Amino acid sequence: MSTQTLPDLLSLTPGELEELMLALGEPKYRAAQMFPQLHRGVLPGQMSCLGKSLRQRLGRETVCRLPRIERRLVSRIDGTVKYLLSLADGNCVESVLMQYEHGKTICVSSQVGCRMGCRFCASTIGGLVRNLTPGELLGQVIAVGQDCGDRISNIVLMGIGEPLDNYENVIKFLRLVNHPAGLNIGYRHISLSTCGLADGIDRLREENLPITLSVSLHAPDDQARSAIMPVNRRYGIDRLLASCRVYFAATGRRISFEYTLIAGKNDSVAQAQKLARLLVSRLRGREGHGMPIHVNLIPVNEVAGTGFVHAGREAVRRFAAELEARGIRATVRRTLGADINASCGQLRREFAAQQTAEPEDPKDPSAAPQPAPPVTGA
Ligand code: SAH
């Protein structure tokens, strides 16, 4: 039987795990024994509470594999760690671990590649390969947590991929990672960033999860936005901001807007003023109930081949000042891991290029895969 058809233990809810146990002729309570251990990275073969025959059967009839750490780059500037992780089928994604005062935050990938086509972004250059499963999303948190040996308290879905383009799996992952018997990471400690799939925002609103939503806006009008973000031709700014307004009215959760500053494209004073007018008029209207508006300015990370250039420090400062002067909170995102190219998508591309260029080369031992050490004990 192909492993693809076998149940993936890390993708199962406690209820689904119970059903699986019953189907295997085991008592339901096995699921309650296994779920917390699985989420700590203990493989069924290492679970001493299970009999040998069940362990063997689970080994044959289910899959349970954490992403394997292929590369680990540690920033000398701020300790940010960037991981290249390989999945069971050999595809790679990236996760980034950041240390903030309030704890460790992991940035996870939601897809192998991306089909959204944002022109400044490295993750989308080769298109979409496939969606990640809930277990692969969770596996990033578990594998990186094991590697750093510390509790991860926050998650941002801002790695490779568009989370709302892998909707069901991402929602299932959110419920799994929040489960009290598992990693128990609070929804308020989870952020999801979208390039603006408005129908996905509408669906997310209905889930009633108190996560933080970030919307990648990056331009103040349709013309400028469509030029850098093809998704804007499907959901223009009016439609997108209408979804944001309703999302806030229904959930009371404020949305933060990401705005990547690119020299000569979207960083002028006139564009800052236009952005302020746009946000105030669309989000502070009657339905918006005075939604607090927060814009996160991100100096563009220059990706080879895109031709986009970082807006200068002065342009960033002026842009922020224009927004603030119009009552919009603007923060300039601190760049973490500048020396390890910590924004996602670039390491995966480099690794893939190396693999195709040098298929016969013995692996450099310093870069050899380092499987995360197994954690045992319940
Ligand atoms: N697909 C989601 C998550 C992707 S990455 C989204 O689009 O929101 C998270 C953020 O990084 C997004 O705001 C994205 O537009 C931004 N980003 C991508 N490439 C970048 C680059 N080269 N420089 C700066 N920000 C970038």
How do residues 356-366 score in pLDDT, each as one tens digit?
Answer: 664 433 333 33
pLDDT grade, residue 101 (50/70/90)? Answer: confident
Cβ–Cβ < 8 Å for 229, 119: yes
Cβ–Cβ < 8 Å for 157, 179: no
Return the SS3 of 103: strand
| Residue reference for tokens 């944001």 | 244
Give the per-residue pLDDT at 66: 97
Q: Where are the alpha helices (DSSP H) in the chain?
A: 14-23, 29-38, 52-61, 134-148, 167-178, 198-207, 222-228, 237-251, 269-283, 313-325, 346-357
pLDDT, tens only, 215-250: 999 999 999 999 999 999 999 999 999 999 999 999
pTM of the predicted model over 0.95 = no
User: Comparing 243 with 299, which gets the higher pLDDT?
Assistant: 243
Residue 266 Cβ < 6 Å to ligand 1: no
Instruction: At 278, give phi and psi (nearest 5°).
Output: -60, -50
Residue 257 Cβ < 6 Å to ligand 1: no
pLDDT, tens only, 159-194: 999 999 999 999 999 999 999 999 999 999 999 999
Count of CB atoms situated within 10 Å of the CB of 146 = 18
pLDDT, tens only, 255-293: 999 999 999 999 999 999 999 999 999 998 655 457 889
Cβ–Cβ < 8 Å for 230, 116: yes
Residue 216 Cβ < 6 Å to ligand 1: yes
Residue 194 Cβ < 6 Å to ligand 1: yes
Cα separation, 121 vs 115, in Å, equals 11
**Active-site annotation holder among 92, 121, 195, 344:** 344
CA nearest neighbour of 193 among 158, 218, 229, 242: 158
| DSSP states of 221-244 | SHHHHHHH-GGGGTS-HHHHHHHH
Question: Whose C-alpha lies nearest to ligand 1, atom 8?
Answer: 194
Question: Whose C-alpha lies nearest to ligand 1, atom 24?
Answer: 300
Average pLDDT over residues 212-217: 97
Question: Whose C-alpha lies nearest to ligand 1, atom 4?
Answer: 158
**Active-site annotation holder among 18, 94, 258, 322:** 94
Best residue for ligand 1 mutational test, from 120, 170, 259, 347 (most atoms within 8 Å of Cβ): 120
pLDDT at 335 over 90: no
pLDDT, tens only, 28-39: 999 999 999 999
Residue 195 Cβ < 6 Å to ligand 1: yes
| DSSP states of 236-288 | -HHHHHHHHHHHHHHH---EEEEEEEBTTTT-SHHHHHHHHHHHHHHHSSTTT
207 labelled catalytic: no
Strand partners, 106: 97, 155
* Average pLDDT taken over every residue of the chain: 89
How far is residue 132 from each of residues 103, 149, 159, 220, 277, measured CA to CA in Å? Answer: 26, 24, 12, 32, 38
CA of 168 to the centre of ligand 1 (A): 21
CA of 183 to the centre of ligand 1 (A): 26
344 labelled catalytic: yes
Cβ–Cβ < 8 Å for 297, 291: no
CA nearest neighbour of 142 among 203, 185, 193, 102: 185
Q: Where in the chain is the domain with CATH 3.20.20.70?
A: 68-352
Tell which atom from ligand 1 comes closest to the C-alpha of 216: 13
Architecture of the domain spanning 68-352: Alpha-Beta Barrel (3.20)
Question: Whose C-alpha lies nearest to ligand 1, atom 19?
Answer: 121
CA of 121 to the centre of ligand 1 (A): 6
Hey, what are 214's tokens? 């970030």
CA of 29 to the centre of ligand 1 (A): 43
Strand partners, 96: 82, 107
CA of 321 to the centre of ligand 1 (A): 23
| DSSP states of 336-376 | --GGGT-STTHHHHHHHHHHHH-TTPPPPGGGS--PPPPP-
Tell which atom from ligand 1 comes closest to the C-alpha of 162: 1
How far is residue 125 from each of residues 65, 116, 157, 303, measured CA to CA in Å? Answer: 28, 10, 19, 10
